Amino acid sequence: MKQTTNTAATTLEQVNAMPAATWGWLKMNQTKLELSNELAAAPTEAVEVEGLDEQFTGVADAFEAAMDAIAERFPERRASAPGDAADRARITPETELDVPATSVYQAGAIKLEEELSPAEAFETGMGEAAYAYLAEHATKRIVIDVPAYKHATVTVRVSGVDAAAAIAAIDVVARPQATLDLRIALDSPVAGQGVVGSVLRVCAHEYATVNVTCTQTLDDSWIALDDTGLFLDEGARVNVQHSVLGAGASATGLAGDLLGDTAKVTIDTDYLGAREQVRDFNYELRHRGRKTECEIDANGVLTGTSKKVYRGTIDLVHGCKGATGTERETVLLANKGVDNKTVPVILCDEDDVAGNHGATIGHVRDEQLFYLACRGLDQNAAEDLFIRAKLEDAALSATDERTRAAVVRLGNNLIDNFEEELA
């Protein structure tokens, strides 16, 4: 983790870093973020919370206490594997050639399993530097603690404030068999520029269900930061819906620790890149429990000269017998000027598992553009059709009227007559 500061900006390095690096020439192992040092702290009114009744409001350290308690349920999890403590203990000058060598990543995985508690192993997708920045500059801290067998619905809205950083820090503890529907909206209802973001930590106990919907509808002058970390106990379910529709630059990161047997995570991401916008994604799901499941689906459209990097990693750790992981991405490149990078990764240290990954990248062909041109639609009009389709779908599936209105406002800024044709 590295964070450097100059007179103009703070540079966060190793953001959205892949757990195991790929070829350097791809230039997508990690990214850097430059954030102005002149951003003020947004007033607390920039973060609105709806539906958080007293019975669901947790104490300040509820998340830390829950994660510490989890360690008692999982005292020792690692099964014997090459390079582990038993192997290292028998290293002598005579036997050292018989002990398998381990990579840097393998050494880190062994440490994770042998030495670190669930609390120590917990991480968020954007990495330490980004998490530290978001936590330090949080406009409001929200702790949601749902008692066992209870159901809560909570909405958190973060609105951009000119020349400021508006950030919601959200901790979630879902007790055994509890259910939480959490809706997060990142929006810029007024003109300006700055940072709008959220940092979310989730501890899902046995057979708890947490549904997270995050919709980002910022204008081009804003930077969006969305950082998430998940821990799942036995039988827990976490479902995440990311809709990344706006912002000049956005970074989305999620890391999940599926330690409990039969835990399951699903991630569904819709994104749009228009004009000169930049999109950066990093998803990392670590399977440690037996018969755990994950599904990662991403669907996007890139137009103009937008740029996108997508990293998706499924880590099948030794001992996660019967685990299954699937990741898919479908992206439409509507302009030859876009820059798309996609790396789906599966890391595997277990035999009895199933991992699937793939990406479908489609281009708008010249003959298709010619067909549209014959009907009076030039390149820009054709791209507007794809943008309109993505935004219409987001508006129709919005969780509430305010979120729908934010999508409509963004659509009006991107293309002509969006609201009229939507109606």
**pLDDT reported for residue 33:** 92
Q: Is the pLDDT of residue 156 over 80?
A: yes
What is the average per-residue pLDDT within 71-87?
64
pLDDT for the residue 77: 55
Q: Are 235 and 263 in contact (CB under 8 A)?
A: yes
Euclidean distance between CA atoms 205 and 67, whole angstroms: 10
More confident position, 422 or 50:
50
In angstroms, rounded to a whole number, what is the distance separating the alpha carbons of residues 39 and 225? 15
Read off the pTM.
0.91
Give residue-wise pLDDT tens across range 159-202.
999 999 999 999 999 999 999 999 999 999 999 999 999 999 99
Mean pLDDT, to the nearest integer, of 12-34?
A: 91
How wide is the angle at C-alpha 400 spanned by C-alphas 398 and 405, nearest 5°?
75
Interval 240-272: pLDDT, tens: 999 999 999 999 999 999 999 999 999 999 999
Asked if the model's pLDDT at residue 96 lies above 70, the reply is: no
Q: Among 308, 281, 278, 286, which residue's Cα sits nearest to residue 297? A: 281
The residues near 172 (Cβ < 8 Å, ≥ 6 apart) are: 63, 144, 146, 180, 182, 200, 201, 202, 203, 204, 210
For residues 158 and 47, give the distance between their C-alpha atoms in angstroms, rounded to a whole number.
5
Interval 73-96 mean pLDDT: 59
Structure token digits, residue 256: 């999940």
CB 227 within 8 A of CB 214: no
148 token code pair: 């066992």
| Residue 103 to residue 97: CA distance in whole angstroms | 15
- Does 16 score more than 80 pLDDT? yes
Q: For residue 17, is pLDDT > 60?
A: yes
**Overall average pLDDT of the 65-79 stretch:** 80
CB-CB neighbours of 389 under 10 Å? 13
Which of 25-29, 110-114, 200-204, 234-238 has the least mean pLDDT?
110-114
Q: Confidence band (pLDDT; 50, 70, 90) for 102?
A: low
Q: How far is residue 15's CA from residue 253's CA, in Å, rounded to a whole number?
A: 9
Residue 78: pLDDT band by 50, 70, 90 thresholds?
low
User: pLDDT confidence of 1, banded at 50, 70, 90?
Assistant: very low
- Supply the mean pLDDT for the chain: 89
For residue 151, which of 172, 175, 179, 173 has the smallest C-alpha distance?
A: 179
CB 224 within 8 A of CB 194: no
Beta bridge partners of 365: none
pLDDT of residue 116: 82
> Is residue 255 within 8 Å of residue 123, measured between CB atoms?
yes
The H-assigned helical ranges of 41-172 are 62-70, 85-89, 104-114, 118-121, 128-136
Q: In the predicted model, is pLDDT for residue 220 greater than 80? A: yes
Rounded mean pLDDT, 96-120: 72
- What gap in Å lies between CA 224 and CA 247, rounded to an integer? 6
User: What's the Rg (C-alpha) of the chain?
Assistant: 22
- Between CA 307 and CA 9 the distance in angstroms is 22
Residue 371 pLDDT: 63
* Residues 283-313 pLDDT 10s: 999 999 999 999 999 999 999 999 999 999 9
Q: What is the pLDDT of residue 386?
A: 86
